[in-house]
Amino acid sequence: MAEKKNYDSDFCGNLPLNHINVIQDYGYLLVLEAGSLNIIQCSDNLTELLELPAKELITKNISDLAGPDQLDKLKQRLDDAVQAKAPLTFNLHGHSMEILIHVKEGYVILEMEKKLGADRVFTEAFEEVKLAIARLEACQTAEEICRVGIAEIKKITGFDGVMMYRFDEDWNGTVIAEEKTGDLEHYLGLTFPASDVPRQARQLYLKNPYRLIPDRTYKPISLYPIVNLVTKTFTDLSDCNVRGVAAVHLEYLKNMGVTASMSIRVIYHGQLWGLIACHHITDKYLSLEVCSICELLSSIISARIESLLHKNEADVETELQKEQTLLMARVYAEDDLIRGLLTEDQPNITELFNASGAVAVINGVVWGIKNIPDQEFVENLILWLQTKRVERVFATDHLPELYDDALPIAEIASGILAIPVDADRGDFIICFRGEVKREIKWGGNPDQAINFELDGKNYHPRNSFNLWQQTVHQTSPPWTAQEMAVAETMRSFIYEFQTKNNKF
């Protein structure tokens, strides 16, 4: 019998991904002192490109490697009040580069890639993007946006496989849309544990719209000198696309049979809602232009999902408020809290909160409606809530995990929503939700997501992503944020009603 588990590994979430201090070999890095634009750090591969030893390179100013017109372009971008992460074509010592500028406190990072070939005609790229945006704007549901979005990104990037990976409240991710060709494994409908995209990696996606790994077998490129001369520590590479990749993630890709990957964020309410995961069996480099198109589509997909889900939330909230108003009116009409809330007629409190049963305990008397536990259980549950010092609305969808006495009656009391009327006196209104057995199809055993060697230091990701089914018991449907907000409003209403009618 499986219970709800949290797979958001603290260990994985604490890895210092932003201070990894190496970059991937498809890019180059220069770190400049903010005021003088003197070079204070460089990636080792720049010495080969510029045919200058690293020790000599870090004694120079950026003006020694770029003409006056290039220097003016750079300074104009640095002086711009809006530090947009937009590419800039830059001639560095005779080499045409695409650069991204990252302004930090006391220093500036120039992230660079070689400009390969001629740019496409603007109208050609614009037409491609415009069509993709038009298809996304025509979508009427979040599910449709996900399907269309990954199809458009697969078409533009040419990856063998693209899938949409949506996070749940515990940061496990489920594949809700998939487009694949070739020999890649199919994962549609499978769930991956939170440790696959650990906390710190998720935080970095709030800064970076995408993460490209053209070749997991790349040779890591070190920075010289190792320590940033301004900060006296490792340079923070959080914003850099070319930032090196943790060894455990490279091994993870190898175990998936993938050589190249790209992850593109989807944001909702300022938080990570999901990831678009792109995979390729062989190595695959994308130009900064194509990456920028993916970044734009990420914004469009996020905005469309935000718009539709916000509308859905607003509709639900409007309906809840309508039902709440009717219920309050019934309480006033009956001039009695119990007859108003726990009537068999509609509306009643179980209708408002989509509950399978509800009890009210007022002045030591228990009233109930529909499917509820016996009085002894209710009285003991009240004592437990009092020991937890519940002063505001309390809700859980896995009560048996928190309260052992609920285990035998999980079928009717796996979830509770408790509204304190007078917690000190033991006056509560409690809504119940019964157990809903849930089948989770995991992509591999989630309990083996990270495997340590005998030394307890070295570790490896799981090497199997085969279907691993789990049945979760003793949980109910979750209580939504809108329901919690309505419950708080009801708590205030009940208190005012009882006070006004001298019921305390």
Cα dihedral sign, 361-365-368-371:
positive
84 found inside a domain = no
**Both 144 and 252 in a single domain?**
yes
315 found inside a domain = no
Whole-angstrom distance, CA of residue 67 vs CA of residue 79: 18
30 found inside a domain = no
Q: What is the pLDDT of residues 377-407, one digit of tens each?
A: 999 999 999 999 988 999 999 999 999 999 9
Provide the 8-state DSSP code for 478.
P
CA 441 centroid distance within chain: 20
What CATH number is associated with residue 187?
3.30.450.40
**Both 386 and 492 in a single domain?**
yes
**Both 294 and 347 in a single domain?**
no
Q: What is the pLDDT of residues 105-163, one digit of tens each?
A: 999 999 999 987 655 556 677 888 899 999 999 999 999 999 999 999 999 999 999 99
352 found inside a domain = yes
List helix spans (H) across 196-287.
199-205, 247-256
Count other C-beta atoms under 10 Å from residue 377's C-beta.
Answer: 17
368 found inside a domain = yes
List helix spans (H) across 59-121.
68-79
Whole-Å CA distances, 381 to 354, 366, 404, 406, 479: 21, 12, 11, 9, 19
The answer to whether 493 touches 321, Cβ cutoff 8 Å, is: no
The answer to whether 110 touches 242, Cβ cutoff 8 Å, is: no
Structure-token match 């010592």, residue found: 93
396 found inside a domain = yes
**Both 155 and 293 in a single domain?**
yes
Which of residues 275, 310, 345 is at a domain's end?
310
**Both 144 and 280 in a single domain?**
yes
Whole-angstrom distance, CA of residue 213 vs CA of residue 409: 50
**Both 199 and 283 in a single domain?**
yes
302 found inside a domain = yes
* Amino acid identity, position 412: I
Choose between 218 and 11: higher pLDDT.
Answer: 218
Domain of residue 345: give its range. Answer: 335-437+473-500
**Both 367 and 418 in a single domain?**
yes
Q: What is the pLDDT of residue 452?
A: 57
Average pLDDT for the chain? 89
Asked if the peptide bond before residue 220 counts as cis, ω within 30 degrees of 0, the response is: no
Q: What is the pLDDT of residues 408-442, one digit of tens each?
A: 999 999 999 999 999 999 999 999 999 998 777 78
Does the structure show a pLDDT above 90 at 40?
yes
Edge-first strand order for the sheet with 173-180 is 210-213, 260-268, 271-280, 161-167, 173-180, 191-192, 438-443, 467-472
What CATH number is associated with residue 488?
3.30.450.270
Strands 191-192, 173-180: pairing kind: antiparallel
Region for 444 from its dihedrals, namely left if φ exceeds 0, alpha if ψ lies in -120 to 50, beta otherwise: left
**Both 201 and 129 in a single domain?**
yes
The answer to whether 417 touches 163, Cβ cutoff 8 Å, is: no
**Both 256 and 355 in a single domain?**
no
Which of residues 295, 310, 325 is at a domain's end?
310
**Both 272 and 347 in a single domain?**
no
Q: How many domains does the chain fold into?
A: 2
Per-residue confidence at 1, pLDDT binned at 50, 70, 90? very low
106 found inside a domain = no
Per-residue confidence at 223, pLDDT binned at 50, 70, 90? very high
**Closest to 221 in 3D by CA, of 20, 44, 42, 29:** 44
